[in-house]
Structure 1
Amino acid sequence: MAQPIPFPAPGSPEGVTLPQNVEAEAALLGAMMIDNRIAEDVLQRLRPEHFFEPLHGRIYEQIAFLVGENRLASPVTLRPLFAADPAMKELGGPAYLAQLTGNPASLIGARAFAEQVYDLAMLRALVTVGRDMVDEALDTSKEINPAAQIEIAEMKLYEVAEKGANDGGAKSFTRAAALAVKQAERAMNSGGSVSGITTGMADLNAMTGGMNRSDLIILAGRPGMGKTSLATNIAFNAARRWIDDREAGIPEDKSIGAPVAFFSLEMSADQLAMRILSEQSEIVSEKLRTGDISPSNFQKFARAAADLEQLPLFIDDTPALTIAALRTRARRLKRQHKIGMVVVDYLQLLQGSSRSQGDGRVQEISEISRGLKTLAKELHVPVIALSQLSRAVEQREDKRPQLSDLRESGSIEQDADIVLFVYRDEYYHDFKAPKAPDANSSADDLEKYQTWQDEQLRVAGKATVIVAKQRHGATGSVDLRFDRQFTKFSDLMPGH
């Protein structure tokens, strides 16, 4: 068999030989042409660019094309496709194709050859990433930004790792069924309502089954409804449950809690921490900020902070993050801290790629929502993304949100597995307050004020979470208690 032409990789360092085995490539191509059934197996993983020898990559591409068209791929059928190929001419012309099939023994090791070709391609990709890292680090002619370079390098490394993962593709029904049984077992062990990550609220868990892995959950509401408060409550409850389950000796894979990554694009990390500590210590956050608290209350606050010292809740308050940077940081947190839930506050503050920004805001939001859904599937965690609602809500008599109220709603609604709306009648009812009665008030005025007060008592301290979309179950609504002082959501007491 003629030797394949040598191929120095473009841009490879002088004197450095990149990982390669052109003989294995040649043997694999020969086996594929002898028995096209081998190609059907190999095509699921290998691509033309995985071949070190460019000519081999082109031959592989044509074999893939013919097999995909349900046609025979052999030296005879491939010959016309390479009659004018310069690299093939250097090896004596299309006769080289017949030479590749000259060793029938290659059929025995074909799959091993395919694995080796793939693994060597991954190693070359690592070399390329490493070389780019060195070049970038040595280039001081442009603005020096080590943090950005590290993020880019991490992204590239993750892309190599992602390509190298072999757990994708179709799952057998046996494997898929095993995953379903595991999910049902987690729900049963949790008391019968949580198959994903707990929200910490029994009624909301009962409606949604918790926050399910690989789901994109959109949590939306108008300003003042408490969507950030609900998100922090869920994040805290999931992280706290993780600690409680671990202390109770429950295995990690059976816990309904999870370490949480909270990307706060609006509030700073200390503001978010202050809010959580206010909720848990039940001290009004405004008093904490101004220092208007007694020594006993400060001790209570400090104890709450000490109790939560080990809370697996990681806050990233970097402003103006791009969706690509957020995904890189989430992957890092998954690797370092095994996060099981991601919260993004809020979606409209994320930025798309520079390419999508040029296509308008709707396209940019589409890229962001798709990126968040992809992240949920990649990391196998629920991603809760907060979203604004359009002002159309305020123009209606009925202020309850609808799916059409989502800003740039098309892509967000399409990509979401669950859409939750936070709604509080109390917020709007406050604006309807009639003038307080006095000695000159008429009986009609007194009746109006009494009616308003009665309604105020009914709606005070209550919130509704509207499940407007749910792929896994029914839509509906869940009533919750909302403590406005501490911005804390919890289950309603029976009878309230």
Structure 2
Amino acid sequence: MAETRLPPHDLDAEEAVNGSLLIDGKAIYEIATFLRPEDFFSPANRSIYQSCLNLYQRDEAINKITVSQELSRLGNLEKSGNLAYLSHLASIVPTSLEILHFARIVQRLSVMRQLILASEKIADIGYGGEADAVTALNKAEDVLFRLRNKRGDADFVHIRELLEQYFEAPPELEPGALQPKTSVHSGFTGLDELLGGFQRSDLVIVAGRPSMGKTSFALNIARNAAVL
């Protein structure tokens, strides 16, 4: 008799993720951008993580009490083991420091399960008697493409990190030196030598009396910056 194999999963890792969130709700910032409720194999752990995400999206605290209340609101508290299971989860991890490690395990095994499902769909295409082999191959490729596209590999980045990079102070330069990668040339040699080019964080004000050529000067800078 053929042995029935369970799909790839790691209940310990799933429990470690949820347990980490119950003792340190802020840990969800590390995983919310890539770990999804459907990545959990256990229905109970899936519901608990979904409740944590709901609280996170409403900017509410994540702990045993709030999660149990959210589970109750959704009608999932009893199906998720009640407070007893939440208490168990909170007791199995000493800290939340390893939550990213466990979350990656849960995500990886979720991809493996989805890959198995995709292979079954591809097998159905093969058994379907498609007259055109190219059409069958295109359908099979589409199954895998949809899986890859559904997962996505890009993580969100906090806007603070982007702003810090964008407005990062450029390195000290010798007088008159320009760094092409960080500065914009004005096209006016004297001005470039004085300022070292325009930097990202610069606020440059062109002041002068009316009809003194401020607009023409600015347009010339814009033109030079585009071609230099």
- TM-score scaled by structure 2? 0.61
Q: 1-side partners of 2:96 and 2:165: how far apart?
A: 30
Partner of residue 140 from structure 2, selected from 145, 150, 153: 153
Residue 77 of structure 1 corresponds to: 66
Deviations 1:245-286 (Å, cap 9, x if unpaired)?
xxxxxxxxxxxxxxxxxxxxxxxxxxxxxxxxxxxxxxxxxx
Query: 1:45-444, aligned counterparts within 5 Å?
Result: 45-83=34-72, 84-85=75-76, 87-88=79-80, 91=81, 93-105=82-94, 107-140=96-129, 143-170=130-157, 172=162
Q: 1-side partners of 2:54 and 2:144: how far apart?
A: 30
Would you say the 8 A contact 1:48–1:60 is kept in 2?
Answer: yes
The total of aligned residue pairs comes to: 164
Aligned AA (1:17): L
Partner of residue 25 from structure 2, selected from 23, 32, 36: 36
Question: How big is the shift at 1:36?
Answer: 1.1
Aligned AA (1:138): Y
Deviations 1:333-352 (Å, cap 9, x if unpaired)?
xxxxxxxxxxxxxxxxxxxx
Q: 2-side partners of 1:14 and 1:151: how far apart?
A: 33
Q: 1-side partners of 2:154 and 2:25: how far apart?
A: 24
Q: 1-side partners of 2:154 and 2:166: how far apart?
A: 12
Question: How big is the shift at 1:14?
Answer: 7.3
Question: How big is the shift at 1:173?
Answer: 5.5
The verdict on how the C-alpha distance between 1:175 and 1:146 changes in structure 2, with shifts beyond 3 A counting, is farther
Would you say the 8 A contact 2:122–2:143 is kept in 1?
Answer: no
Residue 10 of structure 1 corresponds to: none
Would you say the 8 A contact 1:82–1:94 is kept in 2?
Answer: no
Question: How big is the shift at 1:60?
Answer: 0.8
Aligned AA (2:125): E
Aligned AA (1:87): K
Would you say the 8 A contact 1:27–1:106 is kept in 2?
Answer: no
Q: 2-side partners of 1:155 and 1:95: how far apart?
A: 44
1:18 aligns with 2:7: yes
Q: 1-side partners of 2:165 and 2:59: how far apart?
A: 30
Deviations 1:112-151 (Å, cap 9, x if unpaired)?
00111111111111111111101221133xx534322322
- Structure with higher helix content: 2
* Structure 2 residues without counterparts, runs of 5 or longer: 168-179, 182-221, 224-228
3-state SS in 2 of match to 1:172: helix
Q: 1-side partners of 2:36 and 2:136: how far apart?
A: 29
- Structure with higher strand content: 1
Would you say the 8 A contact 1:24–1:113 is kept in 2?
Answer: yes
Question: How big is the shift at 1:164?
Answer: 4.9
Would you say the 8 A contact 1:25–1:117 is kept in 2?
Answer: yes
Q: 1-side partners of 2:13 and 2:61: how far apart?
A: 22
Would you say the 8 A contact 2:122–2:140 is kept in 1?
Answer: yes
Q: Which runs of 4+ in 1 moved over 4 A?
A: 173-177
Deviations 1:283-321 (Å, cap 9, x if unpaired)?
xxxxxxxxxxxxxxxxxxxxxxxxxxxxxxxxxxxxxxx
The verdict on how the C-alpha distance between 1:129 and 1:36 changes in structure 2, with shifts beyond 3 A counting, is same
Query: 1:454-493, aligned counterparts within 5 Å?
Result: none
The verdict on how the C-alpha distance between 1:63 and 1:136 changes in structure 2, with shifts beyond 3 A counting, is same
Would you say the 8 A contact 2:23–2:95 is kept in 1?
Answer: no
Would you say the 8 A contact 2:35–2:103 is kept in 1?
Answer: yes
Aligned AA (1:63): C
Residue 207 of structure 2 corresponds to: none
| Bigger relative CO (Cα 8 Å, ≥ 6 apart) | 2
